[in-house]
């Protein structure tokens, strides 16, 4: 089919990556339409601190890019889907003491779920995003997810829950470029977002401190901070606000506030403390020094495993595993017994975090992943 007959919907975030993705497809002669999705609206919040517009400036940037490219821009509302499939899930996981990864669920259920479903229903052949990843077509209905050219920007970790049906109707145009190359293309094409900085914060919510965001739904419940040697060191503000491996010291070597919670009244020590475990029965935060034995695990269990190919590979499987975005790939063996998947690492892993995803790789292909228990 000629390119000009293929209808493509490009998800425009207002950032440089999706802008270049759209420009490349327009240049290639495809029938391109832009789409800006409103997934969360801070104006619905009763908290003035959170009531700053997050999506409107990005929407204006997307409008400018589409005007430059001469393509229309649709604006779709997916707030209900995002609340149900991402935010509600995130709150449940934090209440249970785990640290979820909302970006993974957003990709599975919203971006390549609700967005893709609506795009297909309206007659679009393909959905395009600005993710740093590549899709390799093996046959008409068989696709593999490959790491991007830019190893530092690679986003396959966040795409580990996608299926063959989703990959069939998706394109990642910038996966074959590095970030500097994308910036150079944006400048060459004179795109309005060429110099725009990277977006940070919670997916579609913005740069709001996680603890501040969570406290709107999760009550604080102070308790003791206890060392692995059973010394009482201070008081925490609530177990859901802390992550395994997070630094919680409040001494001369650790003045900054932790990513989630702030520890109170820790004694002055020469070494900071790190979260080793959480005891919900006693409401205790267990901490240790940086290399505390409790922070290291050689075996972990994962649930809700998704194999992107649609079927499990022959097990046991020697492969590479990543436990968090941008972590160096780790050698491991995946086994299945007692009705569960277990991962055995060649080298013990520090700060394995329940609720996050363990993602599997082999020969730069993302095989899938599962939730760390």
Rounded Cα distance between 210 and 22, Å, is: 32
Q: What is the DSSP string of 276-323?
A: EEEETTTTEEEEE-TT-GGGEEEEEEEEEEEETTSSPPSSSEEEEEES
Catalytic residue status for 203: yes
Rounded to a whole number of angstroms, the CA Rg of the chain reads: 22
Burial per residue of 87-123, b for 16 or more beta-carbon CB atoms within 10 angstroms, e otherwise: bebbbebbeebbbbbbbbbbbbbbbbbbbbebbeeee
* Catalytic residue from among 203, 254, 319, 366: 203
Rounded Cα distance between 172 and 4, Å, is: 18
Report strand pairing: 126-128 vs 170-171. parallel
Catalytic residue status for 54: no
* Catalytic residue from among 66, 106, 254, 366: 106
User: With left for phi above 0 and alpha for psi between -120 and 50, is residue 351 left, alpha or beta?
Assistant: left
Crossing angle for the helix pair 16-27 and 179-188, to the nearest 10 degrees: 60
Rounded Cα distance between 128 and 142, Å, is: 18
Rounded Cα distance between 198 and 373, Å, is: 31
Q: What is the largest CA-CA distance in the chain?
A: 71
Please list, in sequence order, all residues whose beta carbon lies within 8 angstroms of the beta carbon of residue 13, skipping any fewer than 6 positions away. 36, 58, 62, 130, 199
Rounded Cα distance between 305 and 292, Å, is: 29
What's the CA angle centered on 361, arms 358 and 367, to 5 degrees? 85
Rounded Cα distance between 204 and 109, Å, is: 14
- Main-chain dihedrals φ then ψ at residue 275, nearest 5 degrees: -70, 125
Q: Report the catalytic residues.
A: 106, 203
């Amino acid at each position: 089919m000629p390119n000009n007959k293929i209808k493509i919907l490009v998800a425009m975030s207002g950032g440089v990556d999706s802008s270049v993705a759209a420009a490349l497809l327009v240049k290639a002669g495809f029938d391109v339409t832009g789409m800006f999705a409103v997934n969360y609206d801070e104006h619905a919040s009763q908290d003035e601190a959170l009531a700053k517009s997050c999506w409107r400036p990005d929407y204006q940037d997307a409008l400018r890019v589409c005007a430059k490219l001469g393509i229309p821009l649709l604006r779709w509302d997916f707030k209900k889907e995002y609340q149900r499939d991402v935010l509600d899930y995130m709150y449940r996981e934090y209440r249970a003491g785990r640290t979820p990864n909302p970006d993974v669920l957003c990709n599975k259920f919203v971006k390549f779920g609700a967005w893709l479903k609506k795009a297909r229903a309206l007659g679009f052949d393909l959905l395009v995003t600005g993710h740093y990843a590549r899709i390799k077509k093996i046959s008409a209905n068989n696709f593999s997810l490959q790491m991007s050219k830019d190893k530092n920007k690679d986003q396959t970790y966040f795409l580990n829950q996608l299926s063959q049906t989703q990959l069939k109707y998706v394109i990642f145009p910038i996966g074959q470029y590095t970030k500097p190359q994308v910036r150079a293309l944006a400048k060459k094409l004179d795109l309005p977002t060429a110099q725009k900085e990277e977006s940070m914060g919670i997916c579609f919510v913005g740069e709001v401190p996680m603890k501040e965001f969570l406290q709107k739904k999760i009550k604080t419940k102070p308790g003791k901070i206890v060392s692995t040697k059973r010394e009482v060191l201070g008081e925490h503000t609530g177990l859901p606000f802390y992550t395994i491996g997070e630094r919680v010291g409040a001494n001369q070597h650790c003045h900054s506030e932790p990513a989630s919670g702030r520890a109170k009244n820790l004694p002055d020590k020469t070494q900071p403390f790190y979260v080793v475990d959480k005891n919900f029965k006693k409401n205790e935060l267990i901490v240790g020094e940086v290399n505390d034995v409790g922070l290291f695990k050689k075996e972990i269990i994962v649930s809700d495993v998704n194999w992107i190919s649609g079927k499990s590979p022959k097990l046991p499987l020697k492969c590479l595993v990543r436990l968090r975005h941008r972590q160096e790939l780790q050698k491991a063996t995946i086994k299945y017994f007692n009705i569960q998947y277990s991962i055995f690492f060649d080298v013990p892993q520090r700060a394995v975090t329940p609720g996050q995803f363990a993602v599997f790789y082999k020969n730069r292909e993302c095989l899938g992943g599962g939730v760390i228990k």
